[in-house]
Structure 1
Amino acid sequence: MKFEGYIDINKPIETVAKYFADPKYLGEYQEGFEKKVLEEGEKGQDGAISKMYYKNGKYEMVLTETIVSNNLPNSFEAFYHHKHMDNTMKCEFTALSENETRYQVYVEYTRIDWFMPRLISILFPGMYKKPARKWMENFKNFVESQED
């Protein structure tokens, strides 16, 4: 299952990339984010592996992120592993003007092996797009609210 989306942010590309690259800001736009812990490699570099911890109510989730390619401020690509699913995400940042940046996301779920998520992906594919879209909107609002 694949999907993509974009949002335009009223900040320069360097500013947008700065906030995107720093994990201390993840909790500002990803609901439930608790922490990101580097497990292997150099922080933010190609091949770096980190654990990402999320909690929503009683539900806890741990993702393993492997950075495939970090070419910020222009692009970032990573592979995410969870015990029930795997996906890749590529983000591209394009300067539309001196003070406007397009943030484009491409996501592909390559493995879903738990019954309910697989059923949801078949019956309601939009359910996987909604959180990604919400995080993009949250990110836009967060970055635009920052005084640089």
Structure 2
Amino acid sequence: MKYQHEITIKRSRNEVVEKFSDPENMEHWQKGFIFMKPINGELGAAGSQNLLKYEMGKREIEMTETILKNNLPNEFSATYEAKGVYNFQINRFKETTEGHTVWIADNEFKFSGFMKLFGWFMPGAFKKQSYKYMQDFKAFVEDGKSVKNE
């Protein structure tokens, strides 16, 4: 399953990328985020890996992030692997003539095992969650709104 989302953030590209690339900010725009722990390589560098943990409903989900390319402010691409789910994501940040930033996120999901059924019957759930993270990031950058205590 492949899809793309785009959102305009009314802040400079430098400010957007600074907040996007700081792991300390993840708890403010990724609801359910518990922690990120570096497990291999230099934090943020291509080839490095991180363990990410989320609370989703009553379950905790762990995934491994592998950074493929980090040439911000232009592009950040990574894979995210959890049990039965593989996600390849490319994030690009473009400046507008008004000095705002357009965040374009391309996602490709692949499923295995039981998750194949979930991906087949509920593809909208993945698309909706991806866009919700983008909306929450926009609210965090523009208004300082955090999802941490929701």
Q: Normalising to structure 1: TM-score of the pair?
A: 0.92
Percent same amino acid among aligned pairs? Answer: 35
Q: Does 1:41 align with 2:41?
A: yes
1:124 corresponds to which letter in structure 2? Answer: M
Q: Deviations over 1:48-90 (max 9, x none)?
A: 1000011134310111000000011111000111121111000
Distance 1:65 1:72 in 2: 17
Which residue does 1:136 correspond to in 2?
Answer: 134
2:81 is aligned with 1:81: yes
Q: Aligned residue for 2:28?
A: 28
Q: Tell me the CA shift for residue 124 of structure 1.
A: 3.2
**Structure 2 counterpart of 1:102:** 102
Matched residue SS, 2:96: strand
Q: Which runs of 5+ in 2 are unaligned?
A: 145-150
Runs of 4+ in structure 1 deviating by more than 3 angstroms, as ranges, are none
C-alpha RMSD of matched pairs (Å): 1.3
Query: What SS does structure 2 have at the residue aligned with 1:31?
Result: coil
User: Which residue identity does 1:23 align to in structure 2?
Assistant: P
Q: Displacement of 1:32 after TM fit?
A: 0.5
- TM-score, normalised with respect to structure 2: 0.91
Partner residue of 2:148?
none
Equivalent runs, 1:105-124 vs 2, <5 Å: 105-110=105-110, 112-115=111-114, 117-124=115-122
AA matched with 2:109: Y
How far apart, CA to CA, are the structure 2 residues paired with 1:143 and 1:8? 11
Secondary structure at the counterpart of residue 97 of structure 1 = coil
- State how far apart, in whole Å, the 2-side matches of 1:59 and 1:120 are: 16
Name the counterpart of 2:55: 55
Counterpart amino acid of 2:129? Answer: P
In 1, the alpha carbon distance for the partners of 2:112 and 2:75 equals: 29
How far apart are the structure 1 equivalents of 2:85 and 2:51?
Answer: 15
